[in-house]
A and B are shown apart, each in its own frame.
Chain A
Amino acid sequence: MPEILLQARDLSRSYGEFQALKPVDVALRAGELVVLIGSNGSGKTTLLSCLSGVLPPTTGEVSLEGFDLYRDEREVRRRLAFVPDVPVFYQELTAWEHVYAIALAHRASEGFEERAKQLLGEFGLWEARHLFPHSYSRGMRLKLALVLVLIRPFSVLLLDEPSSALDIESTAILGEKLLALATAQTAILLTTHDPNFANQLDAKTWSIHDGSLSIV
Chain B
Amino acid sequence: MEASQSSDLRAVWIVQSRKIFSRLEFWLILIGYDRRRQSFDSWIYLVYVFIFFSIWIFVVLTFLAGVTGQMLSALPFGSPFNSAIVVGGAAFTAIYLIELYSASRRSPFLFSEADSTLLCMTPVDRRFVALSWFLNDWVVRGLLYGAGAIVIGYAYLEAQFPGELGAADLPAYIIAGMRMWSVFLPLHLAAQSSAWAIGAWRLHGRRDRPVLIWIAPLLAILLVAAWILSSPSGEDIFPTWVWSIALPLRSGLGAAPLAAGVGLGLLCAVAGIALLWIASGEMSLARAAQETRGHEVLQTALLTVNNDLVRELRLHRRLGAERRPIRLPARQGPAALIWKNAVRGMRSFTLDQALPWLVILGLSLAIFLAPDLGTMAWLVLVWIFFVGGRAVQSLRRDLKIWWLMRQFPYSSEQLVLLNLGLPLLGIALTSLVVLIFAVWIGVSVPPMIAWMFFPGAVGVAFAAAVDILRQARTSLLLSGSVPDRSLLSVLLGALVLGISGFVAWLMLTALSTPLWLGILVMLAVCAGFDYGLYRWAGYLLRNVR
Contacts and interface: CB of A to CB of B under 8 A. Distances in A.
A106 B409 CA distance: 7
B321 interface: yes
A137 interface: no
Contacts of A93: 340, 343-344, 347
Given A94-B323, A130-B322, A131-B322, A88 B403 contact: yes
8 contacts: A53-B406, A56-B543, A82-B407, A91-B315, A91-B316, A104-B330, A105-B410, A107-B333
B401 A70 contact: no
B545 interface: yes
A146 B333 CA distance: 21
A138 interface: no
Q: Which 10 A-B pairs have the closest CB atoms?
A: A104-B336, A92-B347, A135-B321, A105-B336, A92-B344, A77-B409, A101-B340, A78-B409, A107-B332, A84-B403
Contact of B316 (A84, A94, A101, A134): A134
B480 interface: yes
A84 B326 CA distance: 28
Interface in B438-493: 474-475, 478, 480
Interface of A: 15, 49, 52-56, 70, 73-74, 77-78, 80-82, 84, 87-94, 96-97, 100-102, 104-107, 109, 130-132, 134-135, 148-149
Interface residues of B, number: 46
Contacts of A92: 315, 319, 343-344, 347-348
B544 interface: yes
B325 A130 contact: yes
Nearest to A110: B332
Contacts of A96: 325
B348 to A, nearest CB: 5
B331 interface: yes
A131 B478 CA distance: 23
A82 B332 contact: no
B401 A90 contact: yes
Contacts of B545: 56
Contact of B406 (A52, A87, A132): A52
B411 interface: yes
Contacts of B475: 15, 55
A94, A134, A148 interface centre (most CB from chain B within 10 Å): A94
Nearest to B412: A73
Contacts of A80: 407
A132 B332 contact: no
B333 A77 contact: no
Nearest to B311: A91
A105 B400 contact: no
Contacts of B400: 88
A101 B339 contact: yes
Contact of B324 (A55, A130, A149): A130
Contacts of A84: 403, 478
A23 B480 CA distance: 28
Contacts of A97: 325-326, 340, 343
A90 B409 CA distance: 18
B348 A91 contact: yes
Contacts of A106: 409
B124 interface: no
B336, B339, B545 interface centre (most CB from chain A within 10 Å): B336
Contacts of B315: 91-92
Interface of B: 312, 315-316, 319-326, 330-337, 339-340, 343-344, 347-348, 397, 400-404, 406-412, 474-475, 478, 480, 542-545
A132 B480 contact: no
A53 B480 CA distance: 17
A109 B348 CA distance: 26
Given A91-B312, A93-B347, 4 more contacts: A77-B409, A80-B407, A94-B323, A104-B332
A70 B543 CA distance: 8
A53 to B, nearest CB: 5
A134 B348 CA distance: 15
A158 to B, nearest CB: 11
B332 A77 contact: no
A105 B344 CA distance: 16
Contacts of B336: 101, 104-105
B478 A132 contact: no
B325, B335, B409, B544 interface centre (most CB from chain A within 10 Å): B409
Nearest to B477: A54
A54 B474 contact: yes
B340 A132 contact: no
A132 B325 CA distance: 11
A130 B410 CA distance: 27
A54 B403 contact: yes
Nearest to B333: A107
Given A90-B401, A94-B325, A101-B340, A74 B542 contact: no
A74 B397 CA distance: 21
A53 B475 CA distance: 12
Contact of A77 (B334, B407, B474): B407
A54 B406 CA distance: 7
Nearest to A72: B411
A207 to B, nearest CB: 24
Contact of B408 (A70, A77, A89, A134): A77
Contacts of B406: 52-54, 77, 82
A52, A70, A105 interface centre (most CB from chain B within 10 Å): A105
Contacts of B344: 90-93
Contacts of B332: 104-105, 107, 109
A173 B331 CA distance: 31
A93 to B, nearest CB: 6
A133 to B, nearest CB: 10
A185 B358 CA distance: 55
B409 A88 contact: no
B337, B475, B478 interface centre (most CB from chain A within 10 Å): B478
B290 to A, nearest CB: 16
A87 B293 CA distance: 23
Nearest to B348: A92
Contacts of A82: 403, 406-407
Given A56-B544, A104-B333, A132 B321 contact: yes
A107 B332 CA distance: 5
Contacts of A109: 332
A131 B320 CA distance: 9
A80 B406 CA distance: 10
A188 B364 CA distance: 54
A89 B400 CA distance: 9
